[in-house]
Amino acid sequence: MSEFLKVRNFSCGYRDKFVLEDIDFTLKKGTMFGIIGPNGSGKTTLFKGINGELKARSGSVILNDRKIGEMSYRERARSIAVVAQHIHATDITVEDYVLMGRLPHREKYQLFESTEDYHIAHHFMHLTHVYHLKDTYMSRISGGEQQLANIARALTQQPDLLLLDEPTSHLDITHQVQILNLIQKLNEEMKLTVLMIIHDLNLAGEYCNHLLMLNKGRIFKQGSPDEVLNYQVIEDGYDTVVVVRPNPVSGNPAVFLVSDKVLKQKDK
């Protein structure tokens, strides 16, 4: 049971285009797992493979001893919640939007949400601090608030596994930290297993307890942040010169970039 999500010799991809190969890793229950890697390395493809959007070409993704590919959409939505990067900002109130997370739990012919559904949705709206926006349209709130509502909806699904696709991209540092702190709190207090694609290596090092780096459709390196966020690994994986130092407060690895000009001066 502690081996909660197993990805075994997994391969998937798009029609005669990009392919992921030999993906093999295990996610323990309660991990905060980060997928990193340069653009085009297959992060999103892997994400789609895990949530069942893309079919496996070989190998399998097994969640709680069941193959993802053999689960119905509804079963999948009960155990995996996805926070996508882009939100269709629609004319639907935040409350109704979050309540949509109860859809996979609704009985087949149940027309109305139960009071229980409302309780769950309100609980997570309070937790993500969007309750005061409940009667506002999704299209009228800021990007950061939309992301919070999106997370509230995913939590309302009461999943075993939360998948997030770059939850902090396009957000200012206030919201980046607010959202990652929230996810960390859920991970620790609710023992929610989290798997996220994260672009920012510093945030990845600060918040995740396990990292997987992809490169050209294969696993390049996986392990603890200290193992993966090593300057040599990053320089090979990203083909970029970096300096890694521990964060002075948390001690987690922090990545610094250096401009070409400075590098040349140093060389002399």
Partner 1 sequence: MNTDPGAEKIRSRKFSRWFLFLVVLFVLSGVAFLIGLNTGEMDISLWEIPGILRSGEGLEYTVLYQIRLPRIILGLAVGGGLSLSGAILQGIYRNPLVEPFTLGISGGAALGVALAIVFALPLAFGSYVLPAAGFSGALLAIFLVYNLGIRQGQINVNNMLLIGVMVSFVSSALMMLLMSLTTAENLHSIVFWMMGSLDEPDRTLIRFTVIISVASLIVSLFFFRSLNALRLGETDARHLGINTELSIRVMFVIASLLAGVCVAAAGVIGFVGLVIPHLVRILAGSDYRMLLPGSFLGGGIFLVLCDAIARTIIAPNELPIGVITGIVGGVMFILFLSRSGTSLKMS
Binding site for partner 1 (CB under 8 A): 15, 51, 53, 72-78, 80-82, 84, 88, 90-92, 95-97, 100-101, 103-104, 106, 109, 111-113, 115, 118-120, 122-123, 126, 157
Q: Which is nearer to partner 1, 41 or 156 (CB)?
A: 156
Q: Could you give the CA distance from residue 157 to residue 89 in angstroms, rounded to a whole number? A: 19
Query: Is 68:62 a contact under the CB 8 Å cutoff?
Result: yes
Residue type, 33: F
Q: Could you give the CA distance from residue 218 to residue 178 in angstroms, rounded to a whole number? A: 32
Q: How far is the CB of 186 from partner 1 (least distance, A)?
A: 14
Q: Could you give the CA distance from residue 177 to residue 198 in angstroms, rounded to a whole number? A: 13
Q: Could you give the CA distance from residue 15 to residue 19 in angstroms, rounded to a whole number? A: 9
Q: Which is nearer to partner 1, 183 or 234 (CB)?
A: 183
Q: How far is the CB of 104 from partner 1 (least distance, A)?
A: 4
245's CB contacts (< 8 A; 6+ apart) are 253, 254, 256
Q: Could you give the CA distance from residue 237 to residue 40 in angstroms, rounded to a whole number? A: 12
The three-state secondary structure class of 4 is: strand
Q: Which is nearer to partner 1, 4 or 97 (CB)?
A: 97
Q: Which is nearer to partner 1, 122 or 218 (CB)?
A: 122
Query: Is 211:198 a contact under the CB 8 Å cutoff?
Result: no
The three-state secondary structure class of 191 is: coil
Q: Could you give the CA distance from residue 78 to residue 83 in angstroms, rounded to a whole number? A: 14
Q: Which is nearer to partner 1, 79 or 187 (CB)?
A: 79
Beta bridge partners of 110: none
Task: Determine whether 201 is exposed, middle or buried from the number of CB atoms within 10 Å of its CB (0-12, 13-18, 19+).
Answer: buried
Q: Which is nearer to partner 1, 104 or 253 (CB)?
A: 104
Q: Which is nearer to partner 1, 61 or 244 (CB)?
A: 61
**Furthest CA-CA distance within the chain:** 74
